[in-house]
Every structure is written in C-alpha cells, then in structure tokens.
Amino acid sequence: MRIIISNMAAVEYETKDNTSTDLSDTSVLSDETVKTIEKHKTSGIPLQSSWTFWLDKAISGTTVEEYKENLTKIYTVNTVQSFWAVFNNIPNASAVQVRYSYHLMRDERYPLWEEPVNQNGGTWRLKCHKSDTEKIWKEIVLAAIGEQFTDCVAEGDEVCGVTVSIREREDLVQVMT
C-alpha cells in the first residue's frame, strides 16, 4: 500500500539540492512508514481525538465542491506514534510550493467552513516570515493535538483544525475554532 498525493497538478516541493519534485507522482509515505503507522493505530499513546492531514492548492473562483475535489487526504492519525510517523515523513511546510496548504483537522473533518461542525467557528491567523514558518507550524500542530488550546477557547468550543498556507511573501498559519 502506498499513499500518494494525487489529483494535484504540479504539486512540487524543493529538495535539499534545490530541485523540485512533483508530489502527484511521488509517494508521500513509504510502504515502510505506512506499515509503522498501521502498527500504531491500536497500540501506542492515544490522542484525545483523531486528526487528519490534508493538502490542497489554492485556486481562486472554485466552488465548495471543486475545492473538496481538490483536497487530498494524506492520513488520519490517532496515536502519538502514528502522528510522528506521518509528520516526519511528509515534505516540510517550508519545502511545499507557493499556493499550497497543509491542514490538520480534528477527526476526518474537511477544512471547510461549510461543514456543519465548522459553521459557527472562527480563525486565529498568524502571518509568518518564511524563515519561521516551519517552527511555528510544528508548534501550533503540537499544541492542537496536545489539546493545549483548551483554556484559550470559550466553554463548549474547540480547536477543529490548524492550517499552514504557503504564500509568495509571508506564509499564513491559522487555528480554526
């Protein structure tokens, strides 16, 4: 079994030697990584919620249905070990091409405001200098899966997802509540 980012035209990321790789033709997670993740699905330290990694490319003027079709589900994790197996084996946020976004959403929610569970929410937005994006993204992701925002949201609210959007000048990290 291979997990491949598909249906993504010209999804590229830069490698250490400054060459680009088309992610639509590249396995995001190796067979060995998938086996490790599968092994830790029922064993390991459980997360309070499962979380799903998504990837998309920003295309202006798309409908909700077109946006959903453009989304690529990478993997759903439910243990600390499976989280790290995925997070450490997808391209770093700083290596992803401009106009692409990673999302980490609670359960298997889509990163859409039109989803019933997201409709009454809001967003905390942080603009990041390119040199800080990777670190800030990692810290926000860890805070989300570790339920560290609990004291920062109103009673009955929750963090439903986090997003990093790679942009031309400054990147954008968002926390969806």
Ordered by where they begin, the domains of the chain are 31-176 (3.30.760.10)
Instruction: Give yes or no for residue 145 having a pLDDT over 90.
Output: yes
Q: Looking at residues 73-93, what average pLDDT do you find? A: 93
| pTM: predicted TM-score of the whole model, two decimal places | 0.81
Tell me which DSSP letter residue 94 carries. Answer: G
More confident residue, 30 or 126: 126
| Digit-coded pLDDT (tens) for 94-127 | 999 999 999 999 999 999 989 998 888 899 999 9
- Which of 43-75 are b and which e, b meaning 16 or more Cβ less than 10 Å from the residue's Cβ? ebeebeebbbbbbbbeeeeeeeeebeebbbebb
Percent of the chain with pLDDT strictly greater than 90: 63
Output the pLDDT for position 174: 97
pLDDT at 69 over 80: yes
* 15 class by beta-carbon count within 10 Å (0-12 exposed, 13-18 middle, 19+ buried): exposed
What's the confidence (pLDDT) of residue 40?
64
DSSP β-ladder status, 27-29 and 72-79: unpaired
Please return the burial class of 90, using the count of CB atoms within 10 Å of its CB with bins 0-12, 13-18 and 19+.
buried
Q: What's the whole-number average pLDDT of the chain?
A: 84
